Amino acid sequence: MLIRLQKILSSAGIASRRAAEQFITDERVTVNGETVTTLGSKADPDSDDIRVDGRRIKLAGQRRRYILLYKPRGYITTRSDPERRPTVVDLLAKGGVRDYVYPVGRLDFESEGLLLLTSDGDLAARLTHPRHGVEREYEVRVLGTPDEKGLERLRGGILIDGRRTAPAQVDVRTITPGGHAVLTVVIHEGRNREVRKMCEAIGHPVSRLRRVRIGPIRDPHIRPGEFRDLDEKEVAALKRATSGTPGPPPTRRPDLKVGPTRSTDPARNARGARPRQPSPSGRPRRG
């Protein structure tokens, strides 16, 4: 049966449909040895030889993987980087993950916090599309303290790169002894460096940004460099979040894994992150 190539790539866990379209236009996809560059081209996954960057894709028996990672500062949210900077996939590889997964959405080099990686292209596309309005919550420390007018500008939408941001939930969480505000910011879209640009626009640049929630998923126990697989309830909650169907948030705290590389942020390491020895079961202990 003939199916659009971008759907085949997404179902195989290679990339989201949007990213798969870019693979096609970048001439990275071949079908039976012929490079495909036309969006909307179709192929038969059962009989055609379909490859991305020379690697043949397989659909049969594909196991979907859903991983929650705490991305430390100093890592790139991508599978590979031409500048050879460390990537989030490097963290997974050092922790023993060999499945082909890719990041869902963005979290810039200097930011930290929760990041999903998956081989489920359809769910990734729904989570990142603004139409579904999946919330992302951030803890944001800024320079100085915004006044109420500045906070209202953030809540109502800021003009960035010629386009206004969607309304956001913004509250002052606390004020540091130095007079700098820590904000809670909840947005529903994932434009590049959106929260940072919003805060810069009102004259209060971000000094630290941490993502603490993705839709119904949060985990206050996971630490920089650690990751774990989502359980069935959490995956179901994510799917409900993209379909508009309400449901109770998942509460179980699954086991964590961690690779040898923790964080490249010396300031964070100096704050008392004690090295932990693996437990007899191979799971990290709490510090």
Q: Which residues are catalytic?
A: 108
Chain centroid offset of residue 6 CA: 21
Q: What single-letter DSSP state applies at residue 165?
A: P
Q: What residue type is assigned to position 231 of the chain?
A: D
**CA atoms within 13 Å, Cβ hemisphere of 203:** 8
Instruction: Tell me whether strands 206-214 and 136-142 are parallel, antiparallel or unpaired.
Output: antiparallel
Residue 130 per-residue DSSP state: G
* Cβ–Cβ < 8 Å for 12, 60: no
Continuous H helices in 15-68:
17-25
Give CA separation, 47 vs 1, 89, 238, in Å: 9, 31, 33
Q: How far apart are CA 259 and CA 279, in angstroms?
A: 14
**Sequence letter at residue 260:** P
Cα separation of 65 and 144, whole Å? 41
The CA angle 194-144-267, to the nearest 5 degrees, is: 75
The CA distance from 127 to 29, in Å, is: 24
Report the distance separating Cα 16 and Cα 26, nearest Å: 15
